[in-house]
């Protein structure tokens, strides 16, 4: 059983959001009550993975948190001859992820590394998943990383990128922001929790428009790019090399 998230429920001074032990402890509850479509995206990643994971290849799960995407891939990919490497720079997440994965038996070699996804020494991969993680990097680093990931993908391999979106159209931006807050309220968060979490994420999670994502992916070399999931201001893209 995972603990429920009440981290922002009492008045507090604004401090930048960190992926620390307190967050890791409540993370599954926090993300599924905060990100519309999160469980569907996790499910879909496993299903898409089955289409792309090649024999004797590596799959990367970047910013793996507690390994939800890794588990979905392990459950749904039929070939047994591949390896998953999950990377996260939060010690708290990595420790919990390692414990959590131990509870699920699998013949698939799975390694969870505590490292910065910007510094990692990548090897050739058939699938790279970066599920709600790029948004935490500064913008120049996002471009550098995607260029590197394009290089390491094998031909026919895929990158799955999920992000919170911003919109140039002010009305649409406002509509989706309001609807997102409603989604959180319907999931039991109070107005205080919503506003304090929002303040903590300011300048930490920087959403971009779909157009910015497409143009960065194009610049990195990706030609086949499409959204396979969107709910309000949360999207998941698939790009094939
Ligand atoms: C999921 N993918 O459940 N290097 C490594 N890890 C990083 C970096 C970095 N530079 N920056 C942030 N992280 C997961 C959800 S959560 C999304 C991903 C969210 C890690 C950070 O420690 C955290 O675990 C994760 O990226 C982002 O499918 O909380 O909105």
For the segment 47-80, what is each residue's pLDDT rounded down to a tens digit?
A: 999 999 999 999 999 999 999 999 999 999 999 8
Q: For the chain, which residues make up each domain, given as ranges?
A: 38-166+204-240
Separation of 2 CA from ligand 1 center, angstroms? 18
**Highest mean pLDDT: which of 16-25, 135-144, 198-207?**
135-144
Predicted confidence at residue 161, as pLDDT, reads 98
Predicted confidence at residue 6, as pLDDT, reads 77
Predicted confidence at residue 226, as pLDDT, reads 96
Probe residue for ligand 1, chosen from 49, 88, 229, 233 as the CB with the greatest number of ligand atoms within 8 Å:
88
- Assign residue 84 a region: left if phi > 0, alpha if psi is -120 to 50, beta otherwise? beta
3-state secondary structure of 145: helix
Residue 109 reports pLDDT greater than 70 = yes
Residue 175 reports pLDDT greater than 70 = yes
pLDDT band at 19 (very low <50, low <70, confident <90, very high): confident
Q: What would the mean pLDDT of 73-88 be, rounded to a whole number?
A: 96
Q: What is the pLDDT of residues 179-237, one digit of tens each?
A: 999 999 999 887 777 877 787 788 889 999 999 999 999 999 998 999 999 999 999 99
Mean pLDDT of the chain: 93
Residue 1 reports pLDDT greater than 60 = no
How many percent of the chain have pLDDT more than 70?
99
Predicted confidence at residue 191, as pLDDT, reads 79
Predicted confidence at residue 196, as pLDDT, reads 73
Helical H segments across the chain, by residue range: 21-34, 38-52, 68-76, 91-102, 139-152, 170-186, 191-201, 210-220
Probe residue for ligand 1, chosen from 65, 69, 128, 142 as the CB with the greatest number of ligand atoms within 8 Å:
65
Q: Is 34 in the pocket of ligand 1 (CB under 6 A)?
A: no
Report d(CA 74, CA 67) in Å as an integer.
10
| Long-range Cβ pairs for the range 149-153 (8 Å, 24+) | 149/122, 149/220, 150/220, 150/221, 150/222, 150/241, 151/221, 152/122, 152/123, 152/124, 152/125, 152/128, 153/124, 153/125, 153/126, 153/128, 153/241
**CATH topology for 38-166+204-240?**
Rossmann fold (3.40.50)
């Amino acid at each position: 059983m995972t603990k429920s998230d009440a981290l922002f429920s009492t008045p507090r001074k604004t401090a930048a959001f960190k992926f620390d032990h307190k967050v890791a402890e409540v993370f599954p509850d926090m993300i599924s009550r905060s990100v519309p479509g999160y469980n569907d995206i996790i499910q879909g990643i496993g299903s898409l993975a089955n289409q792309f994971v090649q024999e004797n290849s590596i799959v990367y799960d970047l910013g793996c948190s507690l390994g939800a995407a890794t588990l979905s891939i392990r459950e749904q990919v039929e070939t047994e001859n591949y390896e998953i490497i999950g990377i996260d720079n939060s010690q708290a997440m990595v420790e919990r992820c390692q414990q959590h994965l131990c509870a699920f038996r699998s013949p698939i070699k799975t390694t969870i590394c505590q490292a910065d996804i910007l510094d990692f020494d990548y090897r050739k991969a058939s699938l790279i998943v970066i599920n709600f993680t790029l948004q935490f990097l500064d913008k120049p680093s996002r471009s550098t990383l995607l260029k590197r990931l394009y290089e390491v993908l094998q031909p026919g391999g895929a990158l799955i990128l999920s992000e919170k979106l911003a919109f140039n159209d002010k009305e649409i931006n406002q509509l989706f922001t309001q609807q997102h807050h409603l989604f959180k309220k319907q999931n039991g968060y109070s107005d205080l929790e919503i506003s304090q979490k929002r303040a903590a994420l300011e300048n930490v999670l920087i959403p971009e428009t779909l157009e910015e994502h497409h143009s960065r992916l194009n610049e990195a070399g990706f030609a086949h790019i499409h959204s396979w999931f969107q709910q309000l201001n949360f999207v998941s893209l698939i790009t094939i090399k």
